[in-house]
A and B are shown apart, each in its own frame.
Chain A
Amino acid sequence: QKEVEQNSGPLSVPEGAIASLNCTYSDRGSQSFFWYRQYSGKSPELIMFIYSNGDKEDGRFTAQLNKASQYVSLLIRDSQPSDSATYLCAVKSSGSARQLTFGSGTQLTVLP
């Protein structure tokens, strides 16, 4: 069973809209949650991380975490065509090991 699930997409939004990307995880002991953006042919780039329940904002990006529901999301406000990429949700479980478990990614296309 996949431990980190993302809405499979692809997801298309018009330029200027809000893109909502969702992720659920199965390990209740998970401590840290990361969102990466990956452009085609490139390596993943860290966008945001969140450790505590609630919202965390960074520019146009907002990460939301609900540990009780085992749910983490990423909102992208004022979406731009340059935001078109695959977004990967990653989860770090409890313990000292720094292994991340990744979801399969959601492909986002922002239409001009």
Chain B
Amino acid sequence: KAGVTQTPRYLIKTRGQQVTLSCSPISGHRSVSWYQQTPGQGLQFLFEYFSETQRNKGNFPGRFSGRQFSNSRSEMNVSTLELGDSALYLCASFDSYNEQFFGPGTRLTVL
């Protein structure tokens, strides 16, 4: 099976812009979670989607949003980018045993 895929792998944006990141889970996996990883804060949970419904959301401002499509693919959007949004954004999909497999990540740099 193919693993979790994320696009794009790298992004450079400027403050105030918005960005959309995409994630395709492992075939057959219906749950997708998003995490932000920074050197200072580590890995922090953003949100989880299951069957197109957001089931859980982390402690992030409303500028961070996401959605999931009927084919389980997911997108996350960050509006009005700030310098502090520079991070590695990781998507993970779950199997039926709750084992979570991460994609390669999208490295976002905000200038």
A residues in contact (CB < 8 Å) with B:
32, 34, 36, 42-46, 49, 88, 90, 92, 96-105
**Partner among A43, A96, A97, A103 whose Cβ is within 8 Å of the Cβ of B102:** A43
CB distance from A76 to the nearest CB of B (A): 20
> Which single residue of chain B is at the shortest CB-CB distance from A49?
B99
Chain B CB within 10 A, most for which of A43, A99, A101, A102: A43
Measured between beta carbons, the chain A residues less than 8 angstroms from B58 are 99
Total contacting residues, chain B, CB less than 8 A: 24
A97 with B42: CB separation less than 8 A: no
- Identify the closest chain A residue to B42 (Cβ): A104
Contact partner of A96 (CB less than 8 A), chosen from B43, B45, B55, is: B55
Name the A residues within 8 Å of B88 (CB-CB). 43
Q: Does chain A have a CB within 8 A of B105?
A: yes
Which residues in B have some Cβ–Cβ distance to A below 8 Å?
31, 33, 35, 42-45, 48, 50, 55-56, 58, 88, 90, 94, 97-105
Of the candidates A36, A44, A105, the one having the most CB atoms from chain B within 10 angstroms of its own CB is A44
Task: How many A-B residue pairs have C-beta atoms within 8 angstroms? Tell me.
Answer: 54
Closest-by-CB residue of A relative to B102 is A43
The interface residues of chain A, by DSSP majority, are classed as strand
Q: Can you report 26 A-B residue pairs in the complex whose CB atoms are below 8 A from each other?
A: A34-B99, A34-B100, A43-B88, A43-B90, A43-B104, A43-B105, A46-B99, A46-B101, A49-B97, A49-B99, A90-B100, A96-B55, A97-B48, A97-B56, A98-B31, A98-B33, A98-B94, A99-B45, A99-B58, A100-B33, A100-B45, A102-B35, A102-B43, A102-B44, A104-B42, A105-B42
Closest 4 CB pairs of A and B: A102-B43, A97-B56, A43-B102, A104-B42
Q: A43-B90, A46-B100 are in contact. Are A97 and B43 (CB under 8 A)?
A: no
Known: A43-B105, A44-B43, A105-B42. A100 touches B90 (CB 8 A): no
